[in-house]
Each structure stands twice: as structure tokens, then as C-alpha cells.
Amino acid sequence: MDTQQNNKKVAGLALAAIGIVYGDIGTSPLYSLKTVFDPTHGLALTPANLVGVVSLIFWGLTIIVSFKYVALVLRADNRGEGGIMALLALALAAVGERKRLHTALLLIGVFGASLFYGDSVITPAISVLSAVEGLEVATPAMQAYVVPLTIVILIGLYAAQSHGTAGIGRWFGPIMLVWFAVLAAIGVLNIARSPAILVALNPWHALRFFIDNRGIAFLALGAIVLAFTGAEALYADMGHFGRKPIRLAWFAVAFPALALNYLGQGGLLLARPEAIANPFFQQLGSWSVYPLVVLSTIATVIASQATISGTFSMTKEAIALGFLPRMRVVHTSEREIGQIYLPLINWLQLIAVLLAVVGFGSSEQLASAYGIAVTATMLATTILTYFVIRYRWRMNLLLCLGATGFFLVIDVAFFAANALKILHGGWFPLLLGVLLFTLMLTWRRGRQQVFDNLQKHAIPLDAFLESLFIGPPTRVPGTAIFLRGESDGVPHAMLHNLSHNKVLHERVVFLTVHITDEPRVDPQSQVRITGLGHGCHQVDVTFGFKDEPDIPGMLGLCARHGLAFDMMETSFFVARQTVISTPGAGMAPWREHLFVAMQRNARDAADYYRIPTNRVIELGTQVEI
């Protein structure tokens, strides 16, 4: 019975994964082949080239997605969590105190994560736009309405984010299952009409494509990679569904459907080369265009939703790991803790997506901008994976080099092919990535400078308390909690309170929050209490980078350690830091001013840690960097 229930659970999670994990890669057939044979790329639509391209796509899905991500990268989990941020934390922990390696991996991981944001802008734009472009196949008169209709759909999608997906999310899996079933059925029909396309299953045709075309074949890689966009998502969503359901969903549903559809589109083009203008919507004839437009639009909205949710999750991780300032996080579901909404990220991303749609105007133009961010993130993942399996798993050097070196060569080839498209649109996601990269590193470096300044002027807590209670101040009823950094100094808020109010509460708690490089921390070890005497206590609270930073919840756990709290008798003292940029050592002046601006607009600590606002007392302090 337990086995039967477990199988049902895995099947249910696999169905959900089909909707969330494989939405992006599942909608790639809308534009991939059309883009490869775009006249601007100079690749002639001949039977040999067509078979070679379809063979490349089939074996790319097999090698890059099945072997690299599903077989290898999914093993590199950080306590069950995936994604480039989790992988970065794992790799940094693996290399330990090797300073040069640590810095290099930090830069690679942060840049890969930054490019994910560029990818998350292009995905909704190209997916929805390519679906709506099906209307042009039905009637050319609809061409003028494609961009406006795409804008309306995207605005509606982003406007709905604040309500969460708890209500409609349960339908994502079944709808995408229908989508993949349609992809497979259409593919089978077209293969039956042109069975000659099945020779593409022979990898020799992929190799021959390179031998016959050389330079043009290399350029074509920049478009062929569009068939693999979304592979990173199956790793990023591992924490939500688990390794087994994601693998089941890929091998049982997504991979067969995609392979059949690409073979089917190839068969269609062998029989009717003129269908290259938009092969996806011409697979069944004119009667099917409108139903396919409706279904593909729904599928691309679901794919876009998965990307948006992924952006929210990764931003929250980046905040916890100290790469971005605190932001407002809204929980849109009482049951599912991972359902979050970040208003600032939502509206900034919408603006960038609309700029992409209006600026590029078509899925063909957007395709040039798409590959660079995807391939750079794939490359970063491969490099980080090597250091995890070599230094954390301690596998044989030759085995590590062989396992990741093979994929590294493929990733470099795809990245180099896409790098040639930088002037033709690839600059857009790169620009977004460089902006995020600069913000992340500036915030991290600025926080380190603030920490160093506070350390330099810190007053040791033990010595301070010892001198304080020689002639203790007046004690007043209640509990005072002072938020204290990870340094050993006396909190500035306590110094200011003693200076101005001349009193001390009966019970004083110094609260320090620690964020680990693990996704979640066992509740049994999240709280540690140390008695300091005279009614004073040090409370250390530890969160993983995916845990919810809930201070009142953690204080509730203190009762089992003999330190109970009554919120109506407790006051939280928080130092509101005002950072001032000063000339001299440190970052460049423009980066210091950027950090100061970010710090001033960051969400305050009390709000971020869910401390009741009516129990908070803020005391200002200045910090120079």
C-alpha cells in the first residue's frame, strides 16, 4: 500500500512538473525550425540540411537535456534544492578556503544568475508573440494586431501575479499534458506522410550537416539552441517536485512529444518547403490554425508564468544569500510556502518584456536575442557542476573532466555561435545581465564594507555588559530584543537607547540572524540560546536561503529552551543604518553611490523579518564606507 501511495504521489508531482517545469522547452517548437531557416541566416532549405538540423535537435535534446541535466546535473542538489544559486552555494562550500577559486566561482555563478534574468524577460516575450503570430497564418490581415494583442495578454498575465496561482495552478499540468499530446499527435501524422524524415534519428546526418556547411552550420547552432531553452528550469524546480517526478515527466511525456513534433515538422517541410514561413501552424492545414493559436497561447502563458515564478524564487534566494537588498515579499498562498510575489520585480520585468516585444516586433527578431543568455547560463552550470563533483563528491579527476568536459565543449560551441548575434539583438539580454551583475556585486561588496566598518568600531559585548552592571541603569518591566549583526559588538540601538532613555529592560535579548548556504535548516537546530547573566541572553537564529525569515515564529521555538516571549511585553530595537559614501579606499565612487541608493530603498529589517510594526523602535546610526 505504501508503494502504491508513493507511486501515486510521484505521478501527481510528475503531472504538476509537466505544467511548471517543461512549459518553456515545450513551447519551443513554435519558433525553433522557423528561426533556423530564416533567410537572414543564409542556410538553404534543402532536404539534406533539413534532415541534418532535425537530427541536431533530436540529439541535442538527448545529450543536453537527457544526459546533462536529467542524468548528471539533477544529482548535484543542495539538500534537495536546485537552480544556479543553490549550485553556486554548493560549489563555494566545496572549494572551501581556496580564495582564488572561491572568487572565480562567485563571479561565474553570479553572472550566470544575472543572465537568468535576461532569459526570463525574453521567454514571455518570444513565447506569447510566437503563439499570437499564428493568426498571420490564418489571415495576413491580422498581422497589424499581433503585437498589440501580445501586449494585452502580457499585461494581463503580470497584473494577475499579485493574486497568485494557487487557484489556477492545479490546471497547468493537465493543460500542458494536452499540449504535449497534441504535439505528439501532429508529429506522428506528419511523420506518417513523410516517413523519410526518420533518417534524422541517425546521428551521422547531424555530423554530415557540419561537414557540408561548415561556417553556416556553426551560425545555425545559434538558432538550433532555441529547441533546448528551458532545460535550466528542470534543475531550478527540483526543490518543488523532486528528482524522480521531473525525470518521469521528461522521459514519459515531454521528450517523446518534442522529438515527434520536430520530426513531424521536418516531414512537413520535406513535402512542402513553402511551409517554412510558419511550419508549426501549417502542420494540419488551415482548419486547425485558430484552435492551435488558442491552445498555444494558453501554453505560452503557462510557460511564461513558470518563468515569472522562477524569477521571484531566485530573487528571494539572492536576497537571503546577500546579493540583493531586501524587498517586499508577498505570500499569495496560505498552504504553499513557495508561492510568493515580489511587486518591484514583477513590474520591472513587465516593462522589460514590453520593451522587448515592441522593440523587436516579431519572434524571428527576438530569437536573435534569446540564445546568448540561455547558453551562458548553461555554460556557468557546467563549470559549477565540475567543482561540485570534484571537490564535494571527491570523484576521480579523469572522470570529472570527462563527465563535464564533454558538455563544456558543446556549451562553448553554442555560446560562441550565439556570441556572433550580439549586434543583432543578443546585446539586450546581455545588457540586462550586466546590469544585474553590477547590482549584485555592488550590493555584496557594499555590505562587506559596512560590516568591516562596524567591526572596526565594535565594542566587545562581554566586556561592555561586565562594566555596565557594575553600576546598572534603572531596569524597567518587559523584554527588549536588540537585533545584532554577526559581529561581536554591542548593537548601536542599545548604545543609543542607554544614552537617551537611561533605562534597561528586565530581560534583554541580543538576536543575531545567520543565513547558511543550505536551502533549509532543520527547525530543531534553528535556534540557539546562550545565557549572558543579569537577565541578558544571546539568541542565534539560523535560516536557509529558502526558509521564510520569520522572527516571531523563531521566538516561539525559544519556549522549548526555557525562554518564552509575550509579544505584548516585548519591544524590538532596530538600528536604522544611514550609509555615507566617503572618498578613499573601497569601491569606485559611482559604485558607492549606487550602493547607498540601494541601501536607502531596501526594505527595513523589521518588515522583512515579519516583526510586528507596533512593537518596533528604530534608532538611527551612520556608517561610512
Parallel/antiparallel/unpaired status of strands 527-533 and 536-543: antiparallel
| Lowest-confidence segment of 204-213, 333-342, 572-581 by average pLDDT | 333-342
Among residues 389, 410, 445, the one where a domain terminates is 445
79 against 154, higher pLDDT: 154
| Lowest-confidence segment of 113-127, 537-551, 610-624 by average pLDDT | 610-624
The answer to whether residue 403 sits within a structural domain is yes
pLDDT digits (tens, 9 = 90+) for 144-203: 888 999 999 999 989 988 877 655 667 888 999 999 999 999 999 999 999 999 999 999
The answer to whether residue 610 sits within a structural domain is yes
pLDDT of 615 over the 80 cut: yes
What pLDDT is attached to residue 586?
73
**Furthest C-alpha separation in the chain:** 95
Among residues 419, 445, 471, the one where a domain terminates is 445
Structural domain boundaries enclosing 332: 2-445
Residue type present at position 401? L
What pLDDT is attached to residue 621?
72
| Lowest-confidence segment of 96-105, 166-175, 398-407, 611-620 by average pLDDT | 166-175
The answer to whether residue 553 sits within a structural domain is yes
Same domain, yes or no, for 384 and 511?
Answer: no
Mean pLDDT across the chain: 86
How many structural domains comprise the chain?
Answer: 2
What pLDDT is attached to residue 7?
75
Same domain, yes or no, for 147 and 223?
Answer: yes
Decide: helix, strand or coil at residue 332. coil
For residues 116 and 223, what is the distance between their CA atoms, to the nearest angstrom? 18
Degrees to nearest 5, angle at CA 334 with 329 and 336: 80
Which band of pLDDT confidence, cut at 50, 70 and 90, is reported for residue 141? confident
For residues 164 and 159, what is the distance between their CA atoms, to the nearest angstrom? 10
State the average pLDDT over residues 117-140.
85
Degrees to nearest 5, angle at CA 390 with 388 and 391: 70
State the average pLDDT over residues 225-246.
81
Which band of pLDDT confidence, cut at 50, 70 and 90, is reported for residue 73? confident
183 against 137, higher pLDDT: 183
State the average pLDDT over residues 223-251.
84
For residues 608 and 513, what is the distance between their CA atoms, to the nearest angstrom? 12
Same domain, yes or no, for 263 and 340?
Answer: yes
Same domain, yes or no, for 112 and 53?
Answer: yes
Which band of pLDDT confidence, cut at 50, 70 and 90, is reported for residue 1? very low
The answer to whether residue 450 sits within a structural domain is no
State the average pLDDT over residues 303-330.
85
Grid coordinates belonging to 46: 534543402
The answer to whether residue 451 sits within a structural domain is no
For residues 406 and 412, what is the distance between their CA atoms, to the nearest angstrom? 10
Same domain, yes or no, for 168 and 251?
Answer: yes
pLDDT of 57 over the 90 cut: yes
Same domain, yes or no, for 428 and 526?
Answer: no
Grid coordinates belonging to 43: 542556410
pLDDT winner (highest mean) among 284-293, 430-439, 488-497 = 430-439
pLDDT of 346 over the 80 cut: yes
Same domain, yes or no, for 426 and 485?
Answer: no
| Lowest-confidence segment of 5-9, 293-297, 344-348, 538-542 by average pLDDT | 5-9
Q: Of 376, 309, 324, whose CA–CA distance to 169 is shortest?
A: 309
pLDDT digits (tens, 9 = 90+) for 456-482: 778 888 888 889 888 888 889 999 999
| Lowest-confidence segment of 73-77, 145-149, 459-463, 621-625 by average pLDDT | 621-625
Same domain, yes or no, for 439 and 468?
Answer: no
545 against 249, higher pLDDT: 249
CA 189 to chain centre: 37
Q: Is the dihedral of CA 317, 318, 319, 321 positive or negative?
A: positive
Which band of pLDDT confidence, cut at 50, 70 and 90, is reported for residue 237? confident
The answer to whether residue 452 sits within a structural domain is no
Same domain, yes or no, for 295 and 220?
Answer: yes
pLDDT of 334 over the 70 cut: no
State the average pLDDT over residues 516-545.
86
pTM of the model: 0.82
What pLDDT is attached to residue 168?
61
For residues 81 and 461, what is the distance between their CA atoms, to the nearest angstrom? 37
Contacts of 52 (CB under 8 A, 6+ apart): 200, 205, 206, 208, 209, 210, 212, 213, 217
CATH number, domain containing residue 360: 1.20.1740.10
The answer to whether residue 425 sits within a structural domain is yes
The answer to whether residue 438 sits within a structural domain is yes
What pLDDT is attached to residue 436?
92
pLDDT digits (tens, 9 = 90+) for 85-127: 888 888 888 887 788 888 899 899 899 888 888 888 988 998 8
